[in-house]
Homo-oligomer: A and B are copies of this chain.
Amino acid sequence: MINGHGDDLFHYKHLIKSNFSSNVYNRIEHEELFERLSNKLYLLSNYPEPEPLSLETAFANFYHVEADCVCVTNGATEGIYLIAQTFKGKKSAVWMPTFSEYADACRLHGHRVSAFYTYDSVPADADLVWLCNPNNPTGEVRDYQRMKEWIGAHPDKLFVIDQSYESFTFKRLFSVSEVAALPNVILIHSLTKHFAIPGLRMGYLTGNAKLMKEIRLQRMPWSVNSLAIEAGFFALEKNLELSINLREYLDTKEKFVKELKRTGIVDVWDSDTHFFLVKLRMGKASALKEYLAEEHGILIRNASNFEGLDESFFRLATQTEEENQALVKALSDWMACI
């Protein structure tokens, strides 16, 4: 693992009032889930299933695919590491800038890792192609039709698409039933983001049965804790529906972006979801981050350690209107100081 992931809230415990640094939206309703978990703590007294087959079957039924097409994991992160381990020593190409764990996991398992930045520049000899969609940190969703053609044109490559943020966009994405029938696509999913429960560690992979069987062979027993499994069942009872109105939330984002642009201090990248990249026209994101934490109790994500980005970049996840406005004001204050 590299240093410098988002949500380093634990470093600043007593200072922070507003946390823009994590892509996990902290206004997602948890109360009902927490009440359920609270009533199910007795589950901790027994081992979870060595392999979470019951939950995998439930997900498969929900998506109308064979049970073998789902692999439940200890957070989406375990999914990433299991894929890297299953294909150890291969050549992996990662569409940058993106989440650093794809490259980290691949390097740990002996892959030769390269970066690419456009559809046309994916290395010809890559065995695996990794991308995030919606992409972290840019928030961009790749065009569905173009992606489909691109993947179809490269039957020799395995495409790993991290859809962790799939609940937070209206753009068309690959569906589980679609990839279950494709020979060369794996989707990564995250309940962490959907329910805003990153502390619980719950994710899953989907793909064709043969691929998923190979990956499950690499998974250690009992990797998924009993409460995470319970949260998975809860999510399915709710039909994986989001507890907030996404349209309103993305409207709030649009307003936030406009206000940021209006300051004249930053450029904002177009995003198809609730988080987005911001580039300072002057100064460094690291200095801004310290200033906002110390002076305003606001935490942002310094994005300069994403490969392909420089030290002027930071990432914001939309919060409430009041918090967004407070950030815009604090940013102007900072500009007046430097």
Contacts and interface: CB of A to CB of B under 8 A. Distances in A.
Interface of A: 1, 5, 7, 9-10, 22, 24, 26, 30, 34, 37-38, 41-51, 54, 74-75, 77-78, 80-81, 101, 105, 108, 196-201, 218-223, 225-228
Given A44-B30, A74-B74, A1 B50 contact: yes
B5 A50 contact: yes
A227 to B, nearest CB: 7
B50 A221 contact: no
Task: Please give me the 4 A-B residue pairs with the lowest Cβ-Cβ distance, nearest first.
Answer: A199-B226, A44-B199, A47-B198, A1-B221
Contact of A41 (B37, B42, B75, B80): B37
Max chain B C-beta neighbours (<10 A), residue from A34, A48, A221: A221
B51 A26 contact: no
Main secondary structure of the interface of A (DSSP, over half): loop
A110 to B, nearest CB: 9
B7 A47 contact: yes
Contacts of A108: 218
Given A45-B199, A199-B225, 12 more contacts: A1-B51, A1-B220, A1-B221, A22-B47, A26-B46, A30-B44, A44-B198, A45-B196, A48-B198, A75-B222, A78-B223, A227-B227
A77 B221 contact: yes
A164 to B, nearest CB: 13
A101 B9 CA distance: 36
Contacts of A49: 10
Given A74-B74, A74-B223, A199-B226, A22 B1 contact: no
B74 A46 contact: no
Nearest to A224: B201
Contacts of A22: 46-47
A30 to B, nearest CB: 7
Contacts of A220: 1, 77-78, 80-81, 101, 105
Max chain B C-beta neighbours (<10 A), residue from A10, A75, A201: A201
A14 to B, nearest CB: 14
Contacts of A51: 1
A247 to B, nearest CB: 23
Contact of A227 (B1, B42, B74, B199): B199
21 contacts: A5-B47, A5-B50, A7-B46, A10-B46, A10-B49, A22-B47, A24-B46, A24-B47, A30-B44, A38-B41, A43-B199, A44-B198, A46-B199, A47-B198, A48-B199, A77-B220, A77-B223, A78-B223, A200-B225, A200-B226, A201-B225
Contact of A222 (B41, B43, B196, B198): B198
A317 to B, nearest CB: 13
